[in-house]
């Protein structure tokens, strides 16, 4: 039998993702890959029987990385089921909080969780600080780029290395020949890794101002719990609003001066990664960022739709309520369905019944002809009846915006491709996915002042309402109700489906972006996004499978979300 390469865990944080890659006879090329979520959590079960107004506080604990998105999806699901309309200020505050989450999360993912797949920390020790400074200044106006600054950063790094361990940088594949950056570029990136750590402390304060804390800020069905009162010390007042504005500026500066130029500079050395790692070629967005109200998708910054087989000229509509469109399969997952394992279920009728049939840990290899994951396999059925695995997330959103003629997106994409001298097809790749994440961070950060200004304009016009209480009392609810709360989370389309009976949660099902990506094969044997993207990768050294890390990390895997 040919060799199988196993990486477990492949994620630097947030859960346990195991990749098993079946190599060809020569042992160099991945023939087929298997993605396994090796932990289970059961938050959907914990939610049953509870008051729907409390659901967000439990659902939000699905993840500590995308710290607020499950709270938002949850309050939106309850609002959809019970016909609450949050007031415009609440919507704008939510937009600002979601956007801050994106900027925070994408920057941290790039530097802390993905950059070291491209950046050789040990090589940075050989950089010349003066040449590093010249290179940095040629890339950006970021003020921290003097020879002295880089000499200091290098001293810090040398200190780690001399202690006999690289601390937070331990256990990399340093010296692997697939690392292509010159020492000076490596030193810039490692310095920005450390800068990003300090920067995020300030960024997190936006959530503490608008939601009381970070991670896991507070929400409220029907609005936001943050009161606006310019004359109160304990509400959102002029001082706090000014602070929010300063944080938005801090975020945008870091994106413009550090994240975007670093991405472009690093990408220039890795253009071969613009030709591999695509995977499915199918993309889906649910849409998000309403300018005014929840029920007006025409005002969404990110539109919704499905792209099949890279065809940007045909965008399919999607209906999250249609029983036959989105379904989850468990044919290869450790769950049972009462109607049998090969049937898909729409989330309103979804079931979460654990049924582990895998080997007893620790094990060498999974039997991937049987069930092999705690992640379910969501699929979308198109108008012609065919069932598709799809990619969600930054690349899907950038493609959707591009296809819809969104001007800033088209300008950014065209500029990036021109700078890197790459064709449009380059987007469908590992590099394209990582670059799309950077570009959408800029897009969303740049949209924040608009939502901020709209909020200020409302307040100035005398509207300080942040909560709509008219449907608060369960006596006003129907006996039975169901609803879907959807959003664009940093890793992609996220939705929670809720069924309410007699004022309590009768069923609650979440499908996270990483569920779409990490799921195993479905009843028809179709691979999920991670599995498809790895096929054909050539490993320079199967003992140091850096190539697998690059493509899997380009999706920003989060198994806490995927299994929930």
| 3-state SS, one letter per residue, for 497-549 | EEEEECCEEEEEEEECHHHHHHCCCCCCCCCCHHHHHHCCCECCCCCCCHHHH
The set of residues, in sequence order, having a beta carbon less than 8 Å from that of 286 and lying 6+ positions away, is 304, 318, 320, 486, 487, 488, 493, 494, 495
Q: Is 514 a catalytic residue?
A: yes
Q: By CB under 6 A, name the one of 19, 43, 55, 63 that touches ligand NFE.
A: 63
Q: Alpha-carbon distance 68 to 59, whole Å?
A: 10
DSSP tally for the chain: helices H, then strands E = 17, 14
Q: Is 226 a catalytic residue?
A: no
Which of Mg ion, ligand NFE, none does residue 512 bind (CB under 5 to 8 Å by kind)?
ligand NFE
The residues facing 200 across adjacent strands are: none
Closest to ligand NFE by CB, 70 vs 114, is: 70
Q: Alpha-carbon distance 220 to 91, whole Å?
A: 12
**CB under 6 A: which stretch of 60-68, 254-262, 339-347, 466-474 binds ligand NFE?**
60-68
CB of 488 to Mg ion, least distance (A): 18
Closest to Mg ion by CB, 345 vs 552, is: 345
Q: How many CB atoms lie within 10 A of CB 260?
A: 21
Q: What is the DSSP string of 375-437?
A: S-EEEEE-TTS-EE--B-SHHHHHHHHHHTT-HHHHHHHHHHHHHHT--GGGGSSHHHHHHHH
Angle among Cα 517, 522, 525 to the nearest 5 degrees reads 115
CB of 513 to ligand NFE, least distance (A): 4
The residues facing 22 across adjacent strands are: 4, 32
Q: Is 138 a catalytic residue?
A: no
Q: Residue 69, interface with ligand NFE (CB under 6 A)?
A: yes
Note the Cα 111 to chain centre separation in Å: 14
Which of ligand NFE, Mg ion, none does residue 109 bind (CB under 5 to 8 Å by kind)?
none
CB of 380 to ligand NFE, least distance (A): 17
Closest to ligand NFE by CB, 63 vs 187, is: 63
State the number of binding residues for ligand NFE (CB under 6 A).
16
Catalytic residue among 66, 123, 145, 240: 66
Q: Is 63 a catalytic residue?
A: yes
Catalytic residue among 53, 61, 70, 537: 70
Closest to ligand NFE by CB, 236 vs 390, is: 390
CB of 187 to ligand NFE, least distance (A): 30
Q: Is 558 a catalytic residue?
A: yes
Q: Which residues bind Mg ion (CB under 5 A)?
A: 509-510
Closest to ligand NFE by CB, 65 vs 439, is: 65
Angle among Cα 496, 497, 501 to the nearest 5 degrees reads 135
Q: By CB under 6 A, name the one of 66, 280, 395, 500 that touches ligand NFE.
A: 66
Q: Residue 495, interface with ligand NFE (CB under 6 A)?
A: no
Closest to ligand NFE by CB, 69 vs 552, is: 69
Q: By CB under 6 A, name the one of 18, 294, 379, 491 that touches ligand NFE.
A: 491
**CB under 6 A: which stretch of 48-56, 327-335, 377-385, 489-497 binds ligand NFE?**
489-497
Q: Residue 481, interface with ligand NFE (CB under 6 A)?
A: no
Q: By CB under 6 A, name the one of 512, 534, 546, 548 that touches ligand NFE.
A: 512
Q: How many CB atoms lie within 10 A of CB 531?
A: 26
Residue 353, SS3 per DSSP: strand
Q: Residue 103, interface with ligand NFE (CB under 6 A)?
A: no
Q: Alpha-carbon distance 71 to 221, whole Å?
A: 10
**8 Å CB contact between 23 and 3:** yes
Q: Is 14 a catalytic residue?
A: yes
Q: Alpha-carbon distance 289 to 217, whole Å?
A: 18
Closest to ligand NFE by CB, 96 vs 426, is: 96
User: 88-108 and 238-254 helices cross at what angle (nearest 10)?
Assistant: 30
Which of ligand NFE, Mg ion, none does residue 494 bind (CB under 5 to 8 Å by kind)?
ligand NFE
CB of 60 to ligand NFE, least distance (A): 10
Number of alpha carbons in the 13 Å side-chain half-sphere of residue 145: 20
Q: By CB under 6 A, name the one of 116, 267, 558, 563 that touches ligand NFE.
A: 558
**8 Å CB contact between 356 and 334:** yes
From 508, 516, 561, 511, select the one nearest 348 (Cα to Cα). 508
Active-site residue list: 14, 63, 66, 70, 491, 514, 558, 561
Residues near ligand NFE (CB under 6 A) are 14, 63, 65-66, 69-70, 489-491, 494, 512-514, 558, 560-561
């Amino acid at each position: 039998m040919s060799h199988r390469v196993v990486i477990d865990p492949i994620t630097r944080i947030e859960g346990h993702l195991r990749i098993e890659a079946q190599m060809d006879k020569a042992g160099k090329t991945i023939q087929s890959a298997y993605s396994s979520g090796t932990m289970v959590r059961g938050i959907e079960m914990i939610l049953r029987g509870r008051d729907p107004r409390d659901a967000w506080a439990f659902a939000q604990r699905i993840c500590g990385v995308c710290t607020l998105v499950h709270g938002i999806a949850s309050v939106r699901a309850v609002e959809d089921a019970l016909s609450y309309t949050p007031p415009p200020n609440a919507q704008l505050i939510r937009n600002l909080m979601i956007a801050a989450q994106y900027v925070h999360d994408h920057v941290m993912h790039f530097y802390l969780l993905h950059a070291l797949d491209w950046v050789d920390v040990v090589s940075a020790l050989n950089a010349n600080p003066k040449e590093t400074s010249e290179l940095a200044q040629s890339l950006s106006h970021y003020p921290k780029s003097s020879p002295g600054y880089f000499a200091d950063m290098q001293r810090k790094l040398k200190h780690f290395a001399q202690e006999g361990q690289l601390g937070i940088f331990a256990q990399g594949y340093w010296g692997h020949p697939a690392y292509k950056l010159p020492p000076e570029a490596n030193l810039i990136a490692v310095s920005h890794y450390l800068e990003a750590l300090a920067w995020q402390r300030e960024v997190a304060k936006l959530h503490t101002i608008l939601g009381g804390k970070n991670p896991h800020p507070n929400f409220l069905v029907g609005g936001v719990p943050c009161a606006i009162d310019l004359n109160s010390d304990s509400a959102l007042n002029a001082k706090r609003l000014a602070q929010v504005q300063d944080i938005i500026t801090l975020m945008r500066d870091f994106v413009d001066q550090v994240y975007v130029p670093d991405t472009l500079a690093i990408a220039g050395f890795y253009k071969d990664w613009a030709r591999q790692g695509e995977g499915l070629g199918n993309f889906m967005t649910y849409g998000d960022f309403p300018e005014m109200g929840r029920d007006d998708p025409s005002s969404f910054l990110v539109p919704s739709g499905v792209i099949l087989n890279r065809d940007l000229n045909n965008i399919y509509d999607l209906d999250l309520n249609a029983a036959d469109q989105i379904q989850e399969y468990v044919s290869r997952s450790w769950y049972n369905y009462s109607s049998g394992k090969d049937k898909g279920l729409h989330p309103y009728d979804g079931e979460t019944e654990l049924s582990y049939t895998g080997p007893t840990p620790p094990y060498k290899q999974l039997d991937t002809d049987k069930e092999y994951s705690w992640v379910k396999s969501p699929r979308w059925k198109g108008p012609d009846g065919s069932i598709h695995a799809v990619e969600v997330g930054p690349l899907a959103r950038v493609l959707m915006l591009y296809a819809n003629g969104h001007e800033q997106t088209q300008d950014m994409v065209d500029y990036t491709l021109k700078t890197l001298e790459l064709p449009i097809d380059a987007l469908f790749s590992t590099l394209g996915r990582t670059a799309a994440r950077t570009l959408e961070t800029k897009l969303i950060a740049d949209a924040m002042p608009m939502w901020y200004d709209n909020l200020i304009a409302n307040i100035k016009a005398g509207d300080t309402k942040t909560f709509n209480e008219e449907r608060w009392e369960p006596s006003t609810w129907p006996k039975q109700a169901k609803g879907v709360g959807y959003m664009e989370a940093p890793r992609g389309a996220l939705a929670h489906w809720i069924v309410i009976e007699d004022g309590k949660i009768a069923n609650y099902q979440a499908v996270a972006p990483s569920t779409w990506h990490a799921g195993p094969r479905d009843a028809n044997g179709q691979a999920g996004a991670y599995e498809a993207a790895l096929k054909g990768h050539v490993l320079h050294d199967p003992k140091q499978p850096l190539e697998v890390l690059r493509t899997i990390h380009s999706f920003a895997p989060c198994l806490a979300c995927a299994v929930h």
